[in-house]
Structure 1
Amino acid sequence: MLAGAVVAVGALLTACGGKIGENTTQQPSGSSGAAQGGNTNKDLELVVGVKNEPFYISLQCGAETAAKAAGYTLTTQAPDKFDATMQAPIVTALGAKKPAALLIAPTDDKTMAPQMKQIKDMGAKIIEVDTALQDTSVAASSISSDNTKGGELAAQTMAKLTNGKSGSVLVLDTKAGTSTTAARAKGFEDELKKSAPNLKSVGIQFTDNEPAVAAQKVTAAIASTPDLIGVFATNLNSGEGAATGLRSAGKVGQVQLVGFDASPSEVEALKSGAFQALIAQDPATIGKTGVEQAVNAIEGKSVQRNIAAPLVALTKDDMQQKAEFFYKTKC
């Protein structure tokens, strides 16, 4: 059932277009339940975490497809960096547009709350996609991967890759206050203690979502931790930086690298052996489901508060059989 659903979403992605950062607008077609119910505001706003990142492009693709099917207009915007100081003005400016709903991946689980509350107070429904606020009273629905389980899956995968060998493992998180990656890191560390007592975490280090910083953290860990046997990178940029650090140190394949996400560059790196495994999300389903929940909220239908999207572990041996989980660079 899962495979069929994912393939169906993948087929729908070919119908939409544009990249995040182009402020693309998906125009509605046909009638919708909103029109039948007398609701004339069918404007949806999607504000994702950062421009032109394959995860968010794939999420946008799924959202555009669902919005068009429901007869709603969807406009997508994003900051240049995964930074609350850059995302906050985008959200504040939406007050002038008064959308029917705001779908958002908040870049900080505390500091984005005032801007999101402001849009909610103007009558818009708030739907969180990918990331979420600590304050659960703001959003009507939150759709994301089960990030704790994703971290657990990464630890189980690391245990298989190291095959009973003892050693230390480094965890790379992005920024403090990012709900998704924090859950992945914690899930990984907790599960590592259960699944691989032969492996010891040397702690969580932050990369500021910059590949260059991640590379530096890895090379420093190799120098300071002679028994380093694995690295778990909790997001795309940290993973790409970690791969660079391992290449620079001549440790590719010797230190097992488990990344999160499945961008085109990560997929190629998995194929070449720079990564030993990837924990892939299903961003298109997150975007599609987010729009569906937004429409339900606008039209007074039942809304589900928390929804988990699927996750899957990819290795070089099985990656082609799971190609539907590879992320897009355009719709």
Structure 2
Amino acid sequence: MSPSFSTRILAAAAVTVTAAAALTGCGASSTPSASGSGATDIRLAAVLPNTSDPFFATISCAAEAQAKTRGVELKTYNTTNTDANALATNFQTATLTQPNGILVTPFNNNQFLAQYTDLMSKGVPVVTGSPSEPQAEYKSIYSDTDTAPLAADIASLIPAGGGSMVFLGGAPGIPPLEQRTQPFVDAVTKAHPELAALPTEYSGFDVNKATTTVSALILAHPDLKLIIAADGPDGLGAAAAISQAGKAGQIALVAFDAVPGEVDALKAGTITALIAQNPTDIGAKSIDALVDYLQAHPDGGAISPDGTVAVPNKVLTKDTVGSPENAGFLYKASC
């Protein structure tokens, strides 16, 4: 499983649904190619999971917008939940349409390894947000996992003095989640020895449980100065607990991702900072990679893997979240 998903894998760990349910209301949609001199005969397909999650919804929206900009046709075959069988069905449906290139991002990075190899041998580039091991796709474009440097960006946001801190880890044993969050947690812990680290708490991505847990922590540890939340549900739950306790501004809350509810809490002051991925950039770059390759190789031929692109994360605060340059870091529920 690729580190690109980070917190996105949480849904796959927390929810199991049937393929039939995943396909309900999830027919393919198409972005018409633009007219004019920029239009081409390139036909692309995108197969994304769980677009009920704003992260994936934003990738899909950005891909559709970029396809229109580049003057190519894009048909999407997305699921609205995390069932791997549903995604496999949609991937098969997409490939049967014989697109010139395909964007596909499974939760299991090697789920379509054999299919990637076959498509690439036939001159069909594959771009994914979940790098296979060994790499079989043309290019992987995903969120950078090196979040340790971002610890310096939130240092001034932590209330001064000694106290304690806690990490809300979502759920244990999810490598992509840990690969993105743990470097940041380790860096903050090392940089702030005055904060005693409490045992990691796991809510199973349940907002209500996170709220209850953090409320109990605030009562048990009146010196609590910092909460780091690995995902949206834990961030929202912690924000609710801080608000209920009247501790906004007294406890710093740094949460990963930038779903609409988190952004609202950031603006309200109950979340201090967000560590956001850039799904807009991921979606646009994925389409660009496919179109650029196809335009450079009009005669086709077998394709070799061409490495990865790590899209940086960014710290957003109440003061910076509204900046136009940060718009791509805000997740959308729909286009």
TM category, shorter:
0.7 to 0.9
1:127, 1:140 within 8 Å by CA — same for their partners in 2?
A: yes
Structure 1 residue 287: Cα displacement? 0.7
Aligned to 1:328: 332
Query: When the two structures are superposed, what TM-score results if normalisation uses the length of structure 1?
Result: 0.74
2:30, 2:76 within 8 Å by CA — same for their partners in 1?
A: yes
Structure 1 residue 215: Cα displacement? 3.5
AA partner of residue 171 (structure 1): L
Distance in 2, matches of 1:182 and 1:72, equals 37
AA partner of residue 138 (structure 1): A
SS of residue paired to 1:320: coil
1:101, 1:294 within 8 Å by CA — same for their partners in 2?
A: yes
Structure 1 residue 308 corresponds to structure 2 residue 310: yes
Structure 1 residue 248: Cα displacement? 5.2
Structure 1's 144 and 114: CA in aligned 2 closer, same or farther, altered over 3 A? closer
Across the aligned residues of Structure 1 and Structure 2, the Cα RMSD in angstroms comes to: 3.4
Residues 140-172 of structure 1: per-residue CA shift (max 9 Å, x gap): 2122232322x541x334432224433122132
Distance in 1, matches of 2:84 and 2:197, equals 29
Distance in 1, matches of 2:84 and 2:200, equals 22
Distance in 2, matches of 1:308 and 1:258, equals 22
Structure 1 residue 185: Cα displacement? 1.5
1:176, 1:206 within 8 Å by CA — same for their partners in 2?
A: no
Distance in 1, matches of 2:196 and 2:50, equals 33
* Among 250, 274, 277, the residue aligned to 2:273: 277
Report the identity percentage: 29
SS of residue paired to 2:291: helix
Aligned to 2:194: 198
SS of residue paired to 2:140: strand
Structure 1 residue 285: Cα displacement? 1.4
* Among 108, 118, 123, the residue aligned to 1:121: 118
SS of residue paired to 2:111: helix
Residues 239-280 of structure 1: per-residue CA shift (max 9 Å, x gap): 223323444555544432111232332221111112111123
Structure 1's 27 and 201: CA in aligned 2 closer, same or farther, altered over 3 A? farther
Structure 1 residue 24 corresponds to structure 2 residue 22: no
Distance in 1, matches of 2:198 and 2:229, equals 13
Structure 1 residue 169 corresponds to structure 2 residue 173: no
**Structure 1 unaligned regions, length at least 5:** 1-19
Structure 1 residue 240 corresponds to structure 2 residue 236: yes
Structure 1 residue 187: Cα displacement? 1.3
Aligned length: 299
Distance in 2, matches of 1:77 and 1:174, equals 29
Structure 1's 127 and 214: CA in aligned 2 closer, same or farther, altered over 3 A? farther
SS of residue paired to 1:270: helix
Query: When the two structures are superposed, what TM-score results if normalisation uses the length of structure 2?
Result: 0.73
1:26, 1:64 within 8 Å by CA — same for their partners in 2?
A: yes
SS of residue paired to 1:102: strand
Distance in 1, matches of 2:216 and 2:230, equals 18
AA partner of residue 128 (structure 2): E
Structure 1 residue 293: Cα displacement? 0.9
Structure 1 residue 260 corresponds to structure 2 residue 256: yes
Distance in 1, matches of 2:89 and 2:211, equals 31
Structure 1's 213 and 108: CA in aligned 2 closer, same or farther, altered over 3 A? farther
Structure 1's 105 and 252: CA in aligned 2 closer, same or farther, altered over 3 A? farther
Structure 1's 32 and 281: CA in aligned 2 closer, same or farther, altered over 3 A? farther
Residues 178-221 of structure 1: per-residue CA shift (max 9 Å, x gap): 52x32222211231243222234445555444434543553455
Structure 1's 219 and 85: CA in aligned 2 closer, same or farther, altered over 3 A? farther
**Structure 2 unaligned regions, length at least 5:** 1-24, 298-303
Structure 1 residue 102 corresponds to structure 2 residue 102: yes
AA partner of residue 112 (structure 2): Q
2:172, 2:202 within 8 Å by CA — same for their partners in 1?
A: yes
